[in-house]
């Protein structure tokens, strides 16, 4: 395991265990991150699905928000799924009261864009740059990318044209949860980004 990338998963709330399992399966050293010392030990960071308002509040309470913003601004590779995408967005259209994001992705994101838990769904999505079959994507109280600024690139759309995955330099964001459908290509692509920066 010498030379394996050390990848953190923000483990304050949400489905961080599933991401830790996928990263471990792909050969990374996966580390739960709850404190600044743990953040300092990782080569990349995954921001999981969950409640974006709760994760934001806990990150501030744990003294993680500002160090995390600084790391992202300094080029730390990061991948956000669902709530993680909201947290990486520069702009949150319908943010909760006092809600902040860490920023980094030049996008505007709308929370719960498809409705509540009962409106969750699965569908196949074509992703630019992925070989093989479409991605089977699970949307659970998912956000959607309302607008994409010039620095970011949309890499997946729904059939109605709405953007559900974006890339910008070392940052990646998806509205959906590949970690719960057995889809490994996003995490693999993210690990490639991490490895390229080491």
Catalytic residue (one of 25, 51, 66, 82): 82
User: Which string of DSSP letters, residue by residue, matches 88-141?
Assistant: HEEEETTPPTT------EEEEEETTTT-SGGG-EEEEE-BTT--SSPEEEEESS
Active site residue 82: yes
Helix (H) or strand (E) segment spanning residue 60: helix 52-61
Kindly report the number of other CB atoms within 10 A of residue 117's CB atom.
8
Catalytic residue (one of 19, 38, 136, 179): 179
Active site residue 25: no
Catalytic residue (one of 51, 177, 183, 187): 177
Residues that are catalytic: 82, 177, 179
């Amino acid at each position: 395991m010498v030379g394996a990338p050390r990848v953190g998963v923000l483990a304050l709330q949400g489905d961080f265990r599933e991401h830790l399992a996928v990263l471990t399966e792909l050969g990374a050293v996966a580390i739960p991150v709850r404190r600044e010392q743990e953040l300092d030990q990782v080569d990349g960071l995954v921001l999981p699905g969950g409640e974006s308002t709760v994760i934001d509040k806990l990150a501030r309470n744990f003294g993680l928000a500002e160090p995390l913003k600084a790391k992202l601004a300094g080029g730390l590779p990061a991948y956000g799924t669902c709530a993680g995408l909201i947290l990486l967005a520069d702009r949150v259209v319908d943010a909760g009261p006092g809600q902040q994001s860490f920023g980094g992705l030049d996008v505007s994101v709308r929370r719960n864009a498809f409705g509540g838990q009962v409106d969750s769904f699965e569908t196949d999505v074509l992703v630019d740059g992925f070989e093989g079959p479409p991605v089977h994507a699970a949307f659970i109280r998912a956000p959607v990318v309302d607008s994409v600024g010039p620095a970011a690139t949309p890499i997946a759309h729904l059939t109605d044209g709405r953007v559900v995955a974006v890339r910008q330099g070392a940052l990646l964001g998806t509205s959906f949860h590949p970690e719960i459908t057995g889809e490994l290509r996003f995490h693999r692509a993210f690990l490639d980004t991490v490895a390229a920066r080491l």
